[in-house]
């Protein structure tokens, strides 16, 4: 089972006794993947399609309990190569559907049945969802309807597919209430509200109630961060070792040039001692090399002596 399906399975086990939250969740599901059908006499029906039988069953039960709506679940094979099944929650035309549509009409920016609204009108979020639990429920329903989250072992990516730009802006405003910096992009005529980064996805999973998936994601993040830190340290140590080796080779060559030119014997005793110890120990780093001197010398002092020898060798050219 993919990580995204695991998240949805966990969300299907989230239950609430508050009707306002249950309504908010269903409205989000309907807006992400639902449509309205019009029958004679001005009566409306509803259709919502999902790839999850559990999601279909959840809302089949919910609409009956909340509004007493008659509904059915239709199943068909997908036309895609993976031959997965598609489940359609069909709510035939009946008077009670009007109650659902009246609730949808109260939601600004993103109401697919009133697409002429101003995209920027998102100031009434708290009027639409007075309680925070309802806002969380709405985001949970949106994810159950058309959400996806990648396997954190591979990448950090969250997205919710919206039917139009109005829905996308409404979701963006709603997630901003939780300081989530999600973005919108367009793909094949649909709009994605998406986020990248482990911290943002962790926050989102916490908001919608997928706490098991949140713990799994956090474990992966810890392992990844630890691995990245170890790799950085190793790379840093390797780079420092390479630099030390290159410096030692350069120093040995400089000293040999001074020896060949007969200049070494004319230098101070401290430089002669430094040259002799470096020639005898061409592989040692400065921290170990300084321990071989009879008189104590600092690492910085040894470095300056070797620099002096290199400079004198360069003057021979």
How far out from the chain centre does Cα 264 lie? 62
Q: Are 193 and 171 in contact (CB under 8 A)?
A: yes
Q: Are 11 and 208 in contact (CB under 8 A)?
A: yes
Q: Between 243 and 74, where is the model more confident?
A: 74
Interval 113-123 mean pLDDT: 41
- Domains of the chain, with CATH numbers? 3-209 (3.10.28.10), 233-314 (no CATH)
Q: What CA–CA distances, in Å, run from 287 to 72, 256, 310? A: 78, 22, 19
pLDDT of residue 114: 41
Residues 6+ positions from 132 with CB-CB distance below 8 Å: none
Q: Between 166 and 123, where is the model more confident?
A: 166
Q: Between 134 and 111, where is the model more confident?
A: 134
Q: Tell me: the pLDDT tens digits for 235-289?
A: 777 777 778 888 888 889 988 988 888 888 888 888 888 888 888 998 888 888 8
The torsion region of residue 107 among left (phi > 0), alpha (psi -120 to 50) and beta comes to beta
Q: Between 117 and 282, where is the model more confident?
A: 282
Residues 6+ positions from 14 with CB-CB distance below 8 Å: 140, 209
Q: Tell me: the pLDDT tens digits for 124-166?
A: 455 667 788 999 999 999 999 999 999 998 889 999 999 888 8
Q: Tell me: the pLDDT tens digits for 199-237?
A: 999 999 999 999 999 999 988 888 877 777 777 877 777
- What is the average pLDDT score of the chain? 85
pLDDT of residue 222: 82
């Amino acid at each position: 089972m993919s990580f995204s399906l695991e998240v949805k399975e966990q969300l299907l086990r989230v239950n609430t006794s508050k009707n306002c939250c249950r309504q908010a969740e269903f409205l989000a599901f309907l807006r992400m993947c639902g449509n309205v059908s019009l029958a004679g006499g001005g009566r409306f029906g509803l259709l919502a399609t999902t790839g999850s039988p559990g999601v279909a069953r959840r809302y089949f039960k919910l609409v009956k309990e909340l509004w007493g709506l008659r509904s059915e679940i239709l199943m068909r094979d997908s036309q895609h190569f993976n031959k997965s099944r598609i489940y359609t929650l069909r709510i035939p035309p009946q008077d009670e559907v009007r109650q659902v549509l009246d609730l949808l009409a109260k939601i600004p920016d993103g109401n697919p049945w009133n697409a002429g609204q101003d995209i920027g009108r998102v100031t009434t979020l708290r009027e639409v969802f007075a309680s925070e639990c309802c806002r969380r429920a709405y985001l949970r329903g949106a994810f159950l309807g058309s959400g996806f989250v990648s396997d954190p072992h591979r990448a950090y990516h969250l997205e919710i597919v919206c039917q139009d730009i109005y829905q996308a802006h409404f979701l963006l405003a709603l997630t901003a209430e939780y300081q989530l910096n999600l973005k919108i992009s367009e793909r094949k005529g649909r709009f994605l509200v998406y986020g990248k980064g482990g911290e943002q996805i962790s926050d989102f999973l916490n908001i919608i109630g997928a706490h098991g998936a949140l713990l799994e994601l956090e474990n992966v993040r810890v392992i990844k961060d630890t691995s990245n830190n170890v790799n950085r340290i190793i790379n840093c140590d390797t780079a420092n070792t390479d630099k030390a080796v290159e410096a030692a080779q350069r120093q040995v060559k400089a000293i040999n040039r001074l020896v060949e030119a007969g200049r070494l014997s004319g230098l101070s005793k401290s430089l002669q001692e430094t040259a002799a110890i470096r020639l005898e120990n061409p592989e040692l780093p400065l921290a170990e090399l300084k321990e071989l001197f009879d008189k104590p010398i600092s690492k910085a002092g040894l470095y300056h002596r070797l620099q002096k020898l290199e400079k004198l060798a360069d003057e021979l050219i």
